[in-house]
Amino acid sequence: MKLPRWAVITIGILPLIALLILFVWGVFFRDSNNATGIATFTSAGEGRVLREEPTSFTITTFDGAQVSLNDLLAKKKVVMVDFWASWCVPCRQEARDLEAVWQRYKDKGVAFLGVAVTDSESEARSFIKQFGSTYPNGPDRKGTIAVSYGFTGIPEKYFIVDYKIVKKLVGPLTEARLSSVLDDLLAK
C-alpha cells in the first residue's frame, strides 16, 4: 500500500518538529548552573523521613576540622544536617537566615552541620565566605552521605533528636520558620 504524499511529508517532518521542541525546551527551561541533575526545591515544605536512624558519618570541614555526627548528637539536643550546593539559588536565598538562626541557637543545645553536595571545594568555600557561614560545613563530593539519608534534592534539612531523624524540610527556609521548628524540637 502506497501512502499519500502528504502522509510521507508529515511523517518526515514530525521528528524534526519534536527535535526543535526539545532544543527550545533545553535552551529556555534548564538550570544552567546545575549540571548535576540534582533537583532544586524552590518552595519550602515538609519532606518524608524515609528512615528514622541517621547514617553516622565524619566529615572533614572546609576549615580542616573533623566533625562526627555522633559527637554532635552526644553533645547537643538537636542537630540539623543541611544538604546544599553553591549553585543552588534557594540555598543562596536562605544562607543568611540559616546563619542568623545558628548564631541565636548555637548555645541552646543546637548544632548545625552543612554538607555541600557534589560541589567543587573552591565554589563551596566561596559560598561560605560570601554568606558568612560560621557553622561547620564540609564536602560530600560524590553525594554518598546525602543518598544514605534518602536525599531527593536541595536544599534539604534533616533534624535529629536522640539519634532519630524526627523531621525533614525541603526548600529554602526563612529565619522565622527555622526558629519555630527549633523551638518546637527543644521544647520536647
Domain locations along the chain:
1-30, 45-187
Q: Model-level pTM greater than 0.85? A: no
* Residue 45 confidence (pLDDT): 75
Span 102-115, mean pLDDT?
A: 98
- Rounded CA-CA distance 177/107 in Å is 19
CATH class of 45-187: alpha beta
* Residue 27 confidence (pLDDT): 38
Q: Are 161 and 77 in contact (CB under 8 A)?
A: yes
Measuring CA to CA, which residue among 74, 132, 80 is closest to residue 106?
Answer: 80
Span 160-188, mean pLDDT?
A: 96
Span 140-157, mean pLDDT?
A: 92
Residue 37: pLDDT above 70? no
How sure is the predictor about 19, in pLDDT bands with cuts at 50, 70 and 90? very low
Q: How far is CA 44 from the centre of its chain?
A: 12
Residue 30: pLDDT above 70? no
Residue 16: pLDDT above 60? no
* Residue 24 confidence (pLDDT): 42
Strand partners, 156: 83, 170
How sure is the predictor about 110, in pLDDT bands with cuts at 50, 70 and 90? very high
Strand partners, 78: 110, 161
Torsional sign, CA 43, 45, 48, 51: positive
